[in-house]
Structure 1
Amino acid sequence: MIQLACILLLVTLPWSESASDPNVVCPVGKELTIKEAPWLASIRSNNRHICIGSIINPKSVLITASCLVQRNRTAVWSHHMSNVTVRVGNADRDSGAGVAVCDIIYHPREKNFHLDSALAMLKLCKPLTPSAEVQEIAIVDKQPPKDAKASLSGWGSLTRWGMRHTHCKVIARQQDVQLIDVKACAVERTKHFKYARLERTICSSKISNFCSFDNGSPLLIDGKLAGILNIGSCNLKPDVYVNLFSVRNWIESKAKDKK
């Protein structure tokens, strides 16, 4: 019975049918040099990559809260801060300089499971040294048009639901995407929108069953950070992002170095 249950579980997982096909499981897009996306950061726990972050300033990295907080029906757990580090300055996800994290600030709405505010700010123990390979990214200063063209960058879905797709390269990639009307997105992502407001959310369409990038991947419009990937998949359902324009004041206030 245990064997049968395991087989049934594998059949029901969305990625299971394509997990053996590297052309489907691995994200698409062109490979990047780090100078093309110097704001990318690999967030790590016990030196294992767990999600993607965006450098907001030399001491602040923005991530999705789901990177560090996991919920189930009975418990909430998080990575211990002493185990969390940030690695920057290299297109190879597992290379580059590592910096310790001294503080984690969660968006106040996130604790009540508001997925449209599922953000956290990592405060680094030491400031990053800006260079051609390490740079901050500015936040958008206006509401993104619902049909805007954008680009998504990051590493592959190597840790989707705790499963590792080891045949995927760990080199940063970029994929052009098209935003779609959030109301149409809500029709396909009904579970997500039970806990998210339309005006605080951005969605982009998918044209094939490639897996989304890791959670936290930055969505850029006209060279500015517009969204943080919150919900992705290995199917045709839209990718869902926190709309950073709606929380820009919180980001700017928490990114300030108060020391």
Structure 2
Amino acid sequence: MIQPACILFLLTLPWSQSLSDPYINCSYGAKRINIKEVPWLASVRSENRHICIGTIINTNSILITSTCLTERNKTSVRTHDLATVTVRVGIRDRDSGTGVKVCNVIHHPKDSTYPQDNRLALLKLCKPLIFSAEAREIAIVDKQPQKDAKVSISGWGSLTRWRFPYLNCGELLWQVDDHLIDVKACAAERIEHFKLAKSDRTICLAKKGTICSYDNGAPLVIEGKLAAILYFGSCSNKPDVYVSLFSYRDWIETNSKDKK
């Protein structure tokens, strides 16, 4: 989700300087919040390491971007073994608590096809969650979000795209309030990365400041309902790209049902 561009600070610091230095500001444009304010958040983990954010759809289903389960480097792509994947809910500190095992993953039927906005998946938990003030589901919006809509984005923040352990600025929860921008304007800003056609399956965040947003799956909320999840972010002030969920309501609702 949201993480200030810590790299820029670190490049100017002597290596002997403590990484706890208060001038390494990890709250630019964001505010710290309690899990009770965003109880639908889940930390998705592989081998006990945070890999992305999930959103609680019901007691047995967590919505993610399907790219959460893959990890890329310059030479290869690794798919996380489902046997190592767990989900933590009801926590403010991302690396605290115990995990619930994942027994199955349901990919959107067009996940691997173009365009990229079909990259959704549902994690099916091995045992149902017990809801509380710190952990509960969120409803999906019942209408397509409009340009300029006011939104909130929350999460723990990534460890940067490359997940360097010494750049961890996001162990506690943060939230940013912002607004959406026109998809055509977003496409013009992001054309060097991929082709972005005007589609009701894609929305873009204006992004007020230069903050790092690599924690895929981070939820975008409008008036208390889940509108989108993060698909593509960066450490720049260019718009972040989200998968808009209104068009996927039927697929999410059908596949999140407990089929006992």
TM-score class, shorter-chain normalisation, is: 0.7 to 0.9
Any idea what SS the aligned residue of 1:160 has?
coil
Aligned amino acid, residue 214 of structure 1: D
Aligned to 1:11: none
Greater per-residue helix proportion = 1
TM-score computed with the length of structure 2 as normaliser: 0.86
Q: Give the deviation of 1:153 after TM superposition.
A: 0.5
Contact 1:93–1:155 (8 Å) recurs in 2: yes
Q: Deviations over 1:176-205 (max 9, x none)?
A: 011000110000111555266522101011
1 CA distance for matches of 2:74 and 2:215?
24
Aligned amino acid, residue 172 of structure 2: I
Aligned positions of 1:176-255 closer than 5 A: 176-191=177-192, 193-194=194-195, 198-212=199-213, 214-255=215-256
2 CA distance for matches of 1:161 and 1:178?
27
Contact 1:146–1:181 (8 Å) recurs in 2: yes
Aligned positions of 1:1-259 closer than 5 A: 16-20=7-11, 23=24, 28-70=29-71, 76-191=77-192, 193-194=194-195, 198-212=199-213, 214-259=215-260
Q: Which residues of structure 1 form unaligned runs of 5+?
A: 1-13
| Cα distance change on mapping 1:91 and 1:213 into 2, 3 Å | farther
| Cα distance change on mapping 1:244 and 1:63 into 2, 3 Å | same
Q: Which residues of structure 2 form unaligned runs of 5+?
A: 13-22
Contact 2:184–2:198 (8 Å) recurs in 1: no
Q: What is the percentage of aligned positions where both structures have the same residue?
A: 58
Any idea what SS the aligned residue of 2:251 has?
helix
* Number of residue-to-residue matches in the alignment: 246
Moved more, 199-208 or 111-120: 111-120
Q: Deviations over 1:202-244 (max 9, x none)?
A: 1011222121261110000010000000111111110110000
Q: Give the deviation of 1:16 after TM superposition.
A: 5.0
2 CA distance for matches of 1:136 and 1:63?
14
Q: Deviations over 1:27-51 (max 9, x none)?
A: 6411111111111100000000011
2 CA distance for matches of 1:74 and 1:253?
37
Any idea what SS the aligned residue of 2:212 has?
coil
| Cα distance change on mapping 1:255 and 1:197 into 2, 3 Å | farther
Contact 1:27–1:211 (8 Å) recurs in 2: no
Moved more, 145-154 or 182-191: 182-191
Contact 1:155–1:213 (8 Å) recurs in 2: no
| Cα distance change on mapping 1:105 and 1:257 into 2, 3 Å | same
TM-score computed with the length of structure 1 as normaliser: 0.87
